[in-house]
């Protein structure tokens, strides 16, 4: 028998409560019964997004909400700044160029966060720039970008801050209204503890004004149409009924835990993971600005990272993520977001220790686990 553990940064484990909710008999999506579930989920999303604005629910992956953010806010020829520090920053630029926007690329070394001063210089020198597009947490490089500082740059300009918060919302404190984020995007398969298939997006009043004059073509991802239907407690097109039923349950779990407690839990798991890897003598991918969603770690010299991740998944039953693009075969990524707790991290660290031994890299068994435990104990009260 081999028990399997999902410790990759999306999809993440789904709690039993949400699974059971999604297993309920199907109901029709144009009924008062579904509208009640949908409306409650939308209201709870505001709590997690920390906004008074509507949060739209789309039946798509997070990339659908990213594309919709471009097509609903900008027009062909508009100039935007794209923070390109990983695969998903690159995606912002590719979507923008696909719709005829002029992209000012800010290329950031993988594993590093963007310097707000570089963005400020671009904005000061190009008053026609209409948007800054960034990740809050760049999943491919496990970096947290300084969203608060970026918001300070765009708040008083005729320029939007559009943030991919897919591995940040519900993980770390990214208060949309308080910071002045204009567009915030997320997806179901991360901190929302669901299968993939739902995307979420919230727009500020400033962003809705941009929407009124945007001329990019769109049909399915029409935010104005979705907003009108949301007011009627429904969606413009057929929703993912079971996923939204599960979403309500996951959001109730987040509210019961309390948002600040959720952030503290993620921070503790992240610190424990980083401490464990350093105790094993491994080098972190993003030591200066680490994400709370996942920890990226370089494999030791002489170890094939792709084979290392495959061995843990296929032989040990522990699924982590490898590297993408230029990091392929060089790193592994331990997730600590969503329905992950203390003993998931112990499992992850133990698996890394055992796999390193199998790959001929000498480690002291339990050294990483002990370092993690020292931090993880903070989450328990004294008897």
Q: If we measure between CA atoms, which residue out of 124, 104, 106 comes closest to residue 115? A: 106
Q: If we measure between CA atoms, which residue out of 105, 98, 110 comes closest to residue 139? A: 110
Phi/psi at 79 (5° precision): -100, 135
Each residue's pLDDT, cut to its tens digit, for the chain (383 residues) gives 889 999 999 999 999 999 999 999 999 999 999 999 999 999 999 999 999 999 999 999 999 999 999 999 999 999 999 999 999 999 999 999 999 999 999 999 999 999 999 999 999 999 999 999 999 999 999 999 999 999 999 999 999 999 999 999 999 999 999 999 999 999 999 999 999 999 999 999 999 999 999 999 999 999 999 999 999 999 999 999 999 999 999 999 999 999 999 999 999 999 999 999 999 999 999 999 999 999 999 999 999 999 999 999 999 999 999 999 999 999 999 999 999 999 999 999 999 999 999 999 989 999 999 999 999 999 897 78
Rounded to whole angstroms, the Cα distance separating 325 from 163 reads 22
Phi/psi at 324 (5° precision): -115, 150
The predicted pLDDT at position 383 comes to: 85
Question: What ranges do the domains of the chain cover?
Answer: 5-10+258-379, 16-256
- Residue for token pair 């104005």: 224
Rounded to whole angstroms, the Cα distance separating 181 from 160 reads 8
User: Top-level CATH class of 16-256?
Assistant: alpha beta
**333: exposed, middle or buried (Cβ count in 10 Å: 0-12, 13-18, 19+):** buried
The predicted pLDDT at position 147 comes to: 98
The predicted pLDDT at position 1 comes to: 84
Rounded to whole angstroms, the Cα distance separating 329 from 304 reads 6
- Residue for token pair 């693009």: 325
Do 5-10+258-379 and 16-256 share a fold?
no
Is residue 368 a contact partner of residue 383, using CB atoms and an 8 Å limit?
A: no
* Helix ranges restricted to H, the chain: 16-22, 32-49, 62-73, 87-98, 116-125, 147-154, 176-179, 205-213, 223-230, 241-257, 259-279, 305-314, 342-358, 367-376
Rounded to whole angstroms, the Cα distance separating 172 from 179 reads 14
Rounded to whole angstroms, the Cα distance separating 290 from 27 reads 42
Is residue 79 a contact partner of residue 101, using CB atoms and an 8 Å limit?
A: yes
Q: Which CATH architecture has domain 5-10+258-379?
A: Alpha-Beta Complex (3.90)
């Amino acid at each position: 028998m081999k028990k399997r553990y999902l410790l990759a940064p999306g999809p993440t484990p789904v709690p039993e409560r949400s699974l059971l909710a999604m297993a309920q008999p199907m109901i029709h999506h144009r009924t008062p019964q579904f509208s009640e579930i949908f409306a409650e989920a939308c209201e709870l999303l505001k709590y997690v997004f920390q906004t008074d604005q509507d949060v739209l629910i789309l039946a798509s992956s997070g990339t659908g909400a990213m594309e919709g953010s471009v097509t609903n806010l900008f027009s062909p020829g508009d100039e935007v700044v794209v923070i390109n520090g990983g695969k998903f920053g690159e995606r912002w630029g590719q979507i923008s160029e696909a719709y005829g926007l002029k992209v000012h690329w800010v290329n950031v070394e993988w594993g590093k966060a963007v310097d707000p001063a570089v963005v400020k210089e671009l904005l000061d020198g190009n008053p026609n720039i209409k948007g800054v597009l960034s990740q809050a947490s760049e999943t491919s490089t496990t970096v947290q970008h300084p969203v608060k500082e970026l918001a300070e740059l765009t708040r008083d300009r005729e320029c939007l801050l559009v943030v991919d918060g897919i591995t940040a919302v519900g993980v770390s404190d990214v208060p949309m209204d308080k910071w002045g984020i204009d567009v915030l995007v997320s997806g179901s398969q991360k901190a929302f503890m669901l299968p993939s298939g739902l995307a979420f997006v919230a727009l500020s009043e400033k962003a809705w004004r941009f929407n009124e004059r945007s001329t990019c073509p769109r049909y399915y991802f029409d935010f104005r149409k979705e907003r009108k239907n949301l007011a009627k407690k429904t969606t413009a097109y057929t929703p993912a009924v079971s996923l939204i039923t599960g979403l309500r349950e996951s959001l109730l779990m987040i509210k019961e835990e309390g948002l600040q407690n959720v952030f503290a839990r993620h921070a503790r798991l992240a610190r424990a993971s980083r401490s464990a890897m350093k105790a094993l003598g491994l080098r972190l991918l993003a030591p200066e600005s680490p994400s709370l969603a996942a920890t990226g770690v370089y494999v030791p010299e002489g170890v094939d990272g792709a084979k290392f991740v495959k061995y843990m998944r296929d032989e040990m039953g522990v699924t982590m993520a490898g590297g993408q693009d230029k990091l392929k075969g060089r790193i592994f990524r331990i997730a600590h977001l969503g329905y992950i707790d203390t003993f998931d991290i112990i499992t992850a660290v133990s698996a890394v220790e055992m796999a390193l031994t199998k790959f001929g890299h000498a480690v002291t068994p339990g050294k990483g686990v002990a370092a993690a435990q020292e931090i993880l104990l903070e989450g328990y009260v004294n008897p």
